[in-house]
């Protein structure tokens, strides 16, 4: 393998001159630079990124930690992060935490060892101790999709509360009165926000909050299937099930099939986040969709801006609105002949796409109160201490400057 000294001998210059060419120094004449680059090409010389990192104290790398890259939502987020990072001259390391605090800690230790310049993290829970290593090492960080308690840090999230509320309101408008909910880990703010939106929609419709209809679990198909079978065994069984994400929904659909029931004739299903166009799932899901690619790209751009401007830059909390896409699974009437359309992107004509408007502060607070009431009857469930505290309508307070932005909704479908 050629070294910088080999290049210097080949070009007839000093190693210092080769170094200046690599660092694009203005102190090298065009003719000398051409000789050096020709020698590099002839020898197949590749500069050592590790050596350059030591000199500049910069690796031009970012870390992205997500719960599960097999989830289409996180796959799309990762693509958005990578595209934005690449455009800024950065590479991205990816880690799957699998909602496991030990695995998250292992990745945090690894990324510190790799000397990444910054990190984008979807944290396992809201406990700031889980990300203490990032804070101790002063690694610039952006949180995506989830929040943590007591850390003034850039954050990019979807409006889970409003999206969940819109889905349940839609089911109620279709005549459903016994609506079940399967959510993710209670320690995550996404799970808490989506249950809060569910509670608010029921309350505003004058429907009771029944603890037997609410299940907290994990964002996995196997968990969704197990909990859905429990709900379907109730008497009377729910007429609709709201799955807090797309992987839970896959399990719910499997459970309904195992129970010998049909969607939407026997049980309606709605979910947060869409399924990929490769999924062979029927009937097709009514969903609240977050702009996953834009969330990932925005998180990366926030991080790059933080790296350029330093810690004095205002903290930003970016909230993306959700869209309600009505399809067959909720039982809504669709155009004739389109009961079994293929899934495709962009959104096809058979679906009806409408915005899920942001909720006013009074309704956000009411949702918080209702959630606390529901969880008081579920003692085994631990709610994040900051649930809804950083919601789109409740910006963080504290000594650090804070800028809140709700991204405008644009429907192009």
**Can you give the pLDDT at residue 292?**
93
pLDDT of residue 354: 65
pLDDT of residue 99: 87
Residue with tokens 């020698």: 39
Q: What is the pLDDT of residue 155?
A: 93
Cβ count within 10 A of residue 32: 17
**H helix or E strand, kind and range, residue 50:** helix 49-56
Counting Cα atoms < 13 Å in the Cβ hemisphere of 224 gives 24
What is the reported pTM? 0.75
pLDDT at 348: 33
Residues 6+ apart with CB under 8 A from 358: 159, 162, 319, 321, 392, 393, 406
Q: What is the pLDDT of residue 407?
A: 43
Q: Is the C-alpha dihedral spanning 109, 111, 117, 122 positive or negative?
A: negative
Domains and CATH numbers, the chain: 4-47 (1.10.260.40), 60-413 (3.40.50.2300)
Alpha-carbon gap, residue 25 to 23, rounded angstroms: 6
Per-residue pLDDT of the chain (413 residues; tens, 9 = 90+): 678 888 889 889 888 888 888 777 667 888 888 898 898 888 877 775 545 544 445 678 999 999 999 888 999 999 999 999 999 999 999 999 998 889 999 999 988 888 899 999 999 888 888 888 888 888 999 999 998 887 889 999 999 999 999 999 999 999 999 999 999 988 888 999 999 999 999 999 999 999 999 999 999 999 999 999 999 999 999 999 999 999 999 999 999 999 999 999 999 999 999 876 534 454 588 999 999 999 999 999 999 999 988 767 788 999 999 999 888 899 876 544 444 333 333 333 334 556 677 788 888 888 878 887 887 777 665 555 444 444 443 332 222 333 334 444 332 32
Structure-token pair, residue 115: 């000397």
8 A C-beta contact, residue 161 and residue 319: no
């Amino acid at each position: 393998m050629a070294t910088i000294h080999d290049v210097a001998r080949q070009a007839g210059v000093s190693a210092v001159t080769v170094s200046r060419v690599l660092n694009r120094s203005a102190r090298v004449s065009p003719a000398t630079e051409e000789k050096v680059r020709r020698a590099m090409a002839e020898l197949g010389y590749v500069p050592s990124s590790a050596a350059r990192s030591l000199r500049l104290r910069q690796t031009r790398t970012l870390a992205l930690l997500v719960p599960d890259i097999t989830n289409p939502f996180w796959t799309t987020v990762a693509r958005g992060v990578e595209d934005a990072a690449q455009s800024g001259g950065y590479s991205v390391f990816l880690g799957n935490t699998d909602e496991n605090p030990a695995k998250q800690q292992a990745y945090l230790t690894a990324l510190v060892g790799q000397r990444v310049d910054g990190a984008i993290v979807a944290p396992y829970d809201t406990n700031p101790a889980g990300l203490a290593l990032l804070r101790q090492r002063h690694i610039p960080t952006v949180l995506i999709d989830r929040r943590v308690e007591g850390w003034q840090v850039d954050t990019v999230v979807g409006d889970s509360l409003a999206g969940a509320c819109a889905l349940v309101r839609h089911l109620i408008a279709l005549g459903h009165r016994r609506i079940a909910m399967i959510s993710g880990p209670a320690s995550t703010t996404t799970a808490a926000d989506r249950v809060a939106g569910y509670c608010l929609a029921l309350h505003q419709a004058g429907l009771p909050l029944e603890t037997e209809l609410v299940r907290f679990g994990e964002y996995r198909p196997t968990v969704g299937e197990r909990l859905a079978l429990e709900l379907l065994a109730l008497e009377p069984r729910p007429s609709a099930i709201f799955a807090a994400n797309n992987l839970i929904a896959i399990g719910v659909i499997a459970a309904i099939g195992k129970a010998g029931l049909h969607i939407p004739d026997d049980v309606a299903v709605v979910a947060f986040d869409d399924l990929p166009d490769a999924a062979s799932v029927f009937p097709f899901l009514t969903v609240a969709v977050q702009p996953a690619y834009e969330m990932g790209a925005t998180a990366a751009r926030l991080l790059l801006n933080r790296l350029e401007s330093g810690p004095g830059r205002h903290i930003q909390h970016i909230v993306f609105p959700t869209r309600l896409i009505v399809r067959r699974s909720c039982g809504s009437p669709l155009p004739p002949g389109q009961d079994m359309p293929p899934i495709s992107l962009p959104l096809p004509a058979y679906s009806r796409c409408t915005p899920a408007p942001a909720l006013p502060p009074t309704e956000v607070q009411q949702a918080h109160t209702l959630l606390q009431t529901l969880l008081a009857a579920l003692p085994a469930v631990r709610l994040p201490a900051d649930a809804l505290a950083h919601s789109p309508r409740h910006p963080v307070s504290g000594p650090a400057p804070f800028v809140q932005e709700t991204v405008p909704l644009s429907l192009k479908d």
